[in-house]
Structure 1
Amino acid sequence: MSDTAILSPTAPSGPEITIAIDGMSCAGCAGRAERALAATAGVQRAVVNFATEQGTVTAQSGTDMVALNAGMAEALGKAGYPARVEEVVFDITGMSCASCVGRVEQALRGASGVIEAHVNFADDSARVRYFAGQNDPARLAAVITAAGYAATPRAASGGGAAGDSAARRQAEERRAGRAAAIAGILTLPVFVTEMGGHLVPPFHHWLVGIFGQGPLWTAQFILTTLIFLWPGSGFFTRGIPALFKGAPDMNSLVALGAGAAYAFSVVSLFAPAVLPEGAAEVYFEAAAVIIALILLGRWLEARAKGQAGAAIRALINLRPDEAEARRDGVWTSVPLDQVMVGDLLRLRPAERVAVDGVVREGESYVDESMITGEPLPVAKSRGASLIAGSINTNGSLQYEATAVGVDTALAKIVAMVERAQGAKLPVQALADRVVRVFVPAVIAVAILTVAAWMVFAPAPALGSALVAGVSVLIIACPCAMGLATPTSIMVGTGRAAQLGVLFRKGDALQRLSDIKVMAFDKTGTLTEGRPQVRATYCAAGFDRAEVLRLAAAAESGSEHPVAKAVLRAAGDVPLPEAEGFRALIGAGIEARVEGREMRIGSVRMMTEAGLDTSVFADELQQIAQSGASALLVAIDGTLAALMSVADAPKASAAAAINALHSSGIKVAMITGDAKASAEAVAKLLGIDHVEAEVRPEDKAAAIKRLRGQFGAVGFTGDGINDAPALAEAEVGLAIGTGTDVAIESADVVLASGDPVGAVNALDLSRRTMRNIRQNLFWAFAYNVALIPVAAGVLYPAFGVSLSPMLGAGAMAFSSVFVLTNALRLRALAPRLAERRMFHEGEPAQQKEA
């Protein structure tokens, strides 16, 4: 192994990064990890030390460090030696618009070791991934604080963090409401005395006759000053410093606009002589109403933001505060955080399951709809699993706690949804680019507007120029741009979770909406996953009962559904022990029973073993035509029997496929079954394209073929052998009743075992993306249309100009409109209702998550 890997020996050196690396077992591993790092764009030199399990990388000067860090993490992961990466979520206060989001992200991207930094304006949070040891939450929080925004690391808990966030948001809503109310009370007399006089001249004459014009303006000055110093102070304490730092935000626009109107009014009131003849005017009512309306808008924003996170809070609230545990032989109510794995708990009718567990005594039906989206209660008996948050409908159960705290399925769902809600979709890229330059551009337009009015408007033009400039500053709304995407994501993914569709990766929301074909695994996904042996054909010299006994003994070491079918076919006969069991993924099994070599599997498996299957040629053809699968049994190298194994399609499979067709989606099936059998099932369900006799390792290649033929592919599966296909597809959807390996490889988890979940996931994705595009259009169209109007482009031709007060109202409305539009997603109904099939005498736990 070379000591160093140098890509650009003459390039100036940049920063040095130390990366902790996992998975290295020898010097050869270190060499491979080193070469992976050295091949990453932007790396000048890389050294990996096997003893310290660290890599030291020198970057080329001028390299984008975040892109480099992300590239190195990806390269190490692909090489099989992942970097140790940590993640932290911050709750941030003080962000007022999308410009703030950009500044926080820019500050975090400049911090050492940061791989990824996403700031979400809709829930005031930041999610940061960084190399372990290169940074820590305290230093990252200090980076955010230095950028002008207070940050607190969010502690990991079983949903308590989101609960704390909700409490913080409620407090923010109360503060915003109080500020808006105070501003409204102080603004009302200013508005009435000034605008009332304009609208009703006798009212103006009456007021002036009683108080005099000077005292009225002085009272307006006092009230407006109170507004500036009290509820509206935040605009100035945040906006002015940001302006001086060269990083103006929404607060800066309001401070400049309202401040300019206020300052001009003060000069007009107390020193009118310094202004051109006839230019003295007071605009205290404009300054006061601007502050009041924007504070009202922020209160409405805060309320809407709180509603956007309602789905997460609803999930968290599924957990009871206490559980009844058996301690020292006595049933005692204990706080939830004191329940430990292994505790025996009691569950009464109508109570919620406190933690994940396994039933030890009793029988009941449990409503899991709030977790899985399935409408019918699920039968539970001894050995059945229970999900925290589900409701016991009748009967009493005793169950053993198997997962508590952050390890429960409910806590993992909350964490999964929170992660998806913090994602930044590709569709937001344009908005981000605009927001980076938006506020400075608005200030420039306001200055040009004032200059144009001063040059082209008739004298005295100063007052009109000021009004136009203030209107431009106030009408602009980067808030709506910043809220357009994240709010829809929050509400859409939260509603999806309530319907049993869990987006593990936020960007899957957009990718899923773009797919052209949905591919399904067959067994356990489109079918019930509970195959039955329909018929057994024995070769000459073999007894059916004996073959079934030996085959069942051999299959007893397998968890595959077909193995369970063989065991059921054998009945209750005593089974000898199998030795040397070996599962051949996607083909069959081998084992030794009572000294006899057993081989059980597909036609392909037997053909590759050199066995002639023509003895069962007629039966194989019949089985294929019926849509069943063929399972061959060989004993001591001789074909002994053929079994016809059929797995009934799930009740909702055909409806799900029809719904996909009506959505313009092609449907494919990828299976290891024989081509004739697979095509028979496909014909029954209305599937467009079949990839049959596909080995597990070839499923990814099948996805590539589908992509080449149809376009972007979604794949829905549930088994270990589906993991490569789930990873290869543009979007992988894992059936929640499947294996952990499949779920970890997926982008979306369907909490129930119903293919209808894939239909609902697609529908939710499309409708959420439509909502996002509506929001972005509104946010952009609003600014494109109204900023020129505020500047006065319609005044020369039509005599139309925009009052700063109307501008403030319109700006507040634009944000509220975007939020309200996003909140419509809370009412989304599933495209198809899921239907669960129960088999008589079958324990319900065989098909549950």
Structure 2
Amino acid sequence: MEHEHPGVPSAGPGDSSGQSGRDGHGGTDHSEHAGHAAHDHGEHAGHSGHAGHAGHVAQFRRLFWIMLAIAVPVVAFNEMFAHLIGYGVPGGSWTRWISPVLGTVMYLWGGRPFLTGGWGEIRSRKPGMMLLIALAITVAFVASWGATIGLLDHELDFWWELALLVVIMLLGHWIEMRSLAQTSSALDSLAALLPDEAEKLDGDEIVTVSPEDLVVGDLVVVRPGASVPTDGDIVDGAADMDESMVTGESKTVHRSAGDAVVAGTVATDSGLRIRVTATGEDTALAGIRKLVADAQGSSSRAQRIADTAAAWLFWYALGAALITALVWTLFGLPESAVVRTITVLVIACPHALGLAIPLVVSIATERAARGGVLVKDRLALESMRTVDSVLFDKTGTLTKGEPAVIGVEPVEPDDEGRVLALAAAAESDSEHPLARAIVAAARSRELSVPVSSDFSSSPAVGVKATVDGGLVEVGGPHLLSRRQTEELTVGDRDADDGVTVLYVVVDGGVIGALRLADEIRPESKETVDALHAAGVQVVMITGDAQEVADAVAEQLRIDRVFAGVRPEDKAAKVAQLQADGRKVAMVGDGVNDAPALARADVGIAIGAGTDVAIGSAGVILASSDPRSVLSVIELSRATYRKMKQNLWWAAGYNLAAVPLAAGVLAPIGFVLPMSVGAILMSASTVVVALNAQLLRRLDLSPEASARAYRQ
């Protein structure tokens, strides 16, 4: 996650005491910050975009269990099924009506989703799986009643087959809907960035109001550690603003009177008074929210493979049935024509095809979750195998998103440990991200850190404290003023590459300097190398300055860099790559990444990132290890292979069984009995289920995935 800087108490708005109020801790920082983003709080109540999928999951789950319970007596008391298995139906003559009555309930109740879905496909003139299922259960229903009341041959008693059709198809669609259900809302997360209340100055009093009630010109108070309720200009006070949740920039940005601030950013160390300049739909974060909504709404929804196969099978079955009826009638066997035609239409219903894709996706998503990959959108998973460009957000994705000490430069040789220990002692009472980095560095080196007292800080200058009877100061160039500038030999004053330089001063004399920067994740280099081995272009996007981005890109051997990109322009960069003919996967973790995640062919959110980034993505990495992107590629390719294999098994059965059921081998004395066709149908379903289970053997650990692509 891009670093979130907690606030610390202060006396109130404009107060600069208590904790450090420094621009990057007063350090030398040449990186540029991305433009402001903000957010619409007009719909703070949230959204329910995922409710539709959740409703379908509940519907198919409930129907499946009810129909399964009803199917047991339908099958058990069916005379045709009893004859096939070889047992006698228990009870008297009344038991022969159990299957027809309960079978009718199953057709009208359990089959309703398929009947309405099939009618919808007819109206849209796009026949697919629903119409094929509806055709099969309707033919089975009509034929079974015909056989029950003696109008048709007893061989057409398909009540048991109707029951199995309904149960298996409900199971398949339950699994499918569950895999499609959304688990979070990006727009809800955007709304959550705003505080629930704002403190407005009304004369000399502070009144608590809803951010929605603010108007342009109002004066609001933002306390240390609090979020800015709406866009505005600072009129009093100065603070280091944590804009990482909006801009993607890991370093805090010093803002003072006259500077603009945006909704959702956090005053980390001091209070502010802000005059409102924009509210509601006019705020910058509202613009990001609109981009997310537009990108999600305009995302292409590729035609599902199974639906395509079902459409072809529909026309294949219908054509085969017509030819069967015509041929058997021409040979003067109208009764056989009816039996053969109905058998063709019932056998054509894809038991296995109905499970081929949902079962693979269900097992794949379960296996992925065990490997730290959470799949929200199955189409995103299917698309990942075609991706040829992976676009990484820099801060918090390729880098850790928080500062770390990368170098200690003492004035006197062999004084490195003392410089770091004294700096840590002076910073020990500060909550500033740079302070925490210095203290963490001292702890990691197991240094003995002295106790400090009389801590104080000065905005844009640094901190000071009494340590072992001496005055220790830590800060950037403003701390030095004219002190020893001629003799200063440490800490490059022209630091670049995103490095922040802090000087350590003891009793007026500089004893050394610390260099801090956003640390590159150790796994990032391995990730980039493995993606190159897989033939994938690696692109980096960041709001940082060009020289900062180039330094990271050079270390990681990244192919292409977009630097200085404002939050609202990230989605446009994704579109630019797509316009070049690229299939793009976007990997990010901040609010500023949300529109780009939604616009990309595949959006991948780092799990440690913000809720809004997770809500905009189709795939979520539970860890912050970028190598997990390779796991997604491997999972996508393996899943696609299983889908194709299952489709060939499922459709292959239909392609072979339909002609045999039609009687194509009748001239040599062989006609496929309905009972054999049913057994083969069940066998194909078992094969599909077993083949899908092989996905459980896939090793999706980041280490294994990276190793596989390096070999």
- Contact (CA 8 Å) 2:545, 2:564: kept in 1 or not? yes
- Contact (CA 8 Å) 2:324, 2:662: kept in 1 or not? yes
Q: 1:192 to 1:171 in 2, by over 3 A?
A: closer
Q: 1:736 to 1:240 in 2, by over 3 A?
A: closer
Q: Match for 2:369 among 497, 521, 540?
A: 497
Paired with 2:351 and 2:589, the residues of 1 have a C-alpha distance of 42
Q: 1:733 to 1:574 in 2, by over 3 A?
A: farther
- Contact (CA 8 Å) 2:403, 2:437: kept in 1 or not? yes
Letter in 2 for 1:630: V
Paired with 1:667 and 1:621, the residues of 2 have a C-alpha distance of 33
Deviation at 1:515, TM superposition (A): 1.9
Q: Give yes or no for the alignment of 1:809 onto 2:679.
A: yes
Deviations 1:275-316 (A, max 9, x none): xxxxxxxx54x345x54466567777788899999999xx9x
Deviates more, 1:803-812 or 1:683-692: 683-692
Q: 1:834 to 1:691 in 2, by over 3 A?
A: farther
Q: Give yes or no for the alignment of 1:126 onto 2:12.
A: no
Paired with 1:229 and 1:614, the residues of 2 have a C-alpha distance of 105
- Contact (CA 8 Å) 1:520, 1:668: kept in 2 or not? yes
Deviations 1:690-740 (A, max 9, x none): 445656666545545544557122232334554454445333322222344
Q: Give yes or no for the alignment of 1:519 onto 2:396.
A: no
Paired with 1:548 and 1:707, the residues of 2 have a C-alpha distance of 52
Superposed counterparts of 1:274-353, under 5 Å: 284=154, 286-287=155-156, 290-292=158-160
Q: Give yes or no for the alignment of 1:230 onto 2:105.
A: no
Deviations 1:183-212 (A, max 9, x none): 48x74456769xxxxxxxxxxxxxxxxxxx
Paired with 1:530 and 1:177, the residues of 2 have a C-alpha distance of 64
Q: Give yes or no for the alignment of 1:476 onto 2:348.
A: yes
Deviation at 1:223, TM superposition (A): 9.9
Superposed counterparts of 1:777-788, under 5 Å: 777-788=648-659
Superposed counterparts of 1:293-692, under 5 Å: 426-429=301-304, 431-432=306-307, 446=321, 449-455=324-330, 457=331, 459=332, 461-528=333-400, 529=402, 531-536=404-409, 556=430, 558-559=432-433, 562=434, 564-566=436-438, 568=440, 573-574=452-453, 576-578=455-457, 590=460, 629-632=498-501, 643-645=514-516, 649-671=520-542, 681-682=552-553, 684-692=555-563
Q: Match for 1:757 among 608, 614, 628?
A: 628
Q: 1:777 to 1:614 in 2, by over 3 A?
A: farther
Paired with 1:705 and 1:720, the residues of 2 have a C-alpha distance of 20
Paired with 1:817 and 1:614, the residues of 2 have a C-alpha distance of 81
- Residue 249 of structure 2 aligns with which residue? none
- Residue 830 of structure 1 aligns with which residue? 700
Paired with 1:498 and 1:526, the residues of 2 have a C-alpha distance of 23
Paired with 1:534 and 1:745, the residues of 2 have a C-alpha distance of 38
- Residue 34 of structure 2 aligns with which residue? none
Paired with 1:299 and 1:646, the residues of 2 have a C-alpha distance of 59
Q: 1:754 to 1:88 in 2, by over 3 A?
A: closer
> What is the RMSD computed on CA atoms of the aligned residues?
5.8
Paired with 1:478 and 1:615, the residues of 2 have a C-alpha distance of 84
Deviation at 1:650, TM superposition (A): 3.9
Paired with 2:519 and 2:476, the residues of 1 have a C-alpha distance of 22
Letter in 1 for 2:97: L
- Contact (CA 8 Å) 1:496, 1:764: kept in 2 or not? yes
- Contact (CA 8 Å) 1:700, 1:724: kept in 2 or not? yes
- Residue 142 of structure 2 aligns with which residue? 256
Deviation at 1:745, TM superposition (A): 4.1
Letter in 1 for 2:359: T
Give the SS at the match of 1:531: strand
Deviations 1:615-660 (A, max 9, x none): 9999769987xxx74214699xxxx997533566544434433443
Paired with 2:95 and 2:317, the residues of 1 have a C-alpha distance of 25
Give the SS at the match of 2:702: coil
Deviation at 1:477, TM superposition (A): 0.8
Gaps of 5+ in 2: 1-37, 120-133, 184-298, 412-417, 443-448, 465-472, 479-484, 505-509, 706-711
Deviations 1:560-617 (A, max 9, x none): xx5532455696645744466xxxxxxxxx46768xx99969xxx9xxxxxxx99999
Deviations 1:306-357 (A, max 9, x none): 9999999xx9xxxxxxxxxxxxxxxxxxxxxxxxxxxxxxxxxxxxxxxxxx
Q: 1:554 to 1:834 in 2, by over 3 A?
A: farther
Give the SS at the match of 1:645: strand
Paired with 1:482 and 1:506, the residues of 2 have a C-alpha distance of 16
TM value normalised by structure 2: 0.54
Q: 1:228 to 1:483 in 2, by over 3 A?
A: farther
Give the SS at the match of 1:495: helix
Letter in 2 for 1:663: A
Deviation at 1:816, TM superposition (A): 4.5
Q: 1:746 to 1:287 in 2, by over 3 A?
A: closer
Paired with 1:427 and 1:697, the residues of 2 have a C-alpha distance of 26
Q: 1:591 to 1:820 in 2, by over 3 A?
A: farther
Letter in 2 for 1:452: V
Q: 1:693 to 1:427 in 2, by over 3 A?
A: closer
- Contact (CA 8 Å) 2:384, 2:585: kept in 1 or not? yes
- Contact (CA 8 Å) 2:541, 2:561: kept in 1 or not? yes
Paired with 1:673 and 1:616, the residues of 2 have a C-alpha distance of 29
Report how many aligned residue pairs link the two structures: 502
Q: Match for 1:748 among 619, 635, 640?
A: 619
Letter in 1 for 2:382: Q
TM value normalised by structure 1: 0.47
Letter in 1 for 2:642: N
- Contact (CA 8 Å) 2:542, 2:549: kept in 1 or not? yes
Paired with 1:493 and 1:652, the residues of 2 have a C-alpha distance of 24
Deviation at 1:744, TM superposition (A): 3.8
Give the SS at the match of 2:538: strand
Paired with 1:261 and 1:310, the residues of 2 have a C-alpha distance of 38
Q: 1:703 to 1:643 in 2, by over 3 A?
A: farther
Deviation at 1:764, TM superposition (A): 2.0
Paired with 1:749 and 1:258, the residues of 2 have a C-alpha distance of 48
Higher relative contact order (CA 8 A, sep 6+): 2
Paired with 1:261 and 1:680, the residues of 2 have a C-alpha distance of 78
Letter in 2 for 1:516: D
Paired with 1:721 and 1:537, the residues of 2 have a C-alpha distance of 39
- Contact (CA 8 Å) 2:608, 2:622: kept in 1 or not? yes
Give the SS at the match of 1:513: helix
Q: 1:769 to 1:754 in 2, by over 3 A?
A: same
- Contact (CA 8 Å) 1:517, 1:666: kept in 2 or not? yes
Paired with 1:228 and 1:664, the residues of 2 have a C-alpha distance of 64
- Residue 274 of structure 1 aligns with which residue? none
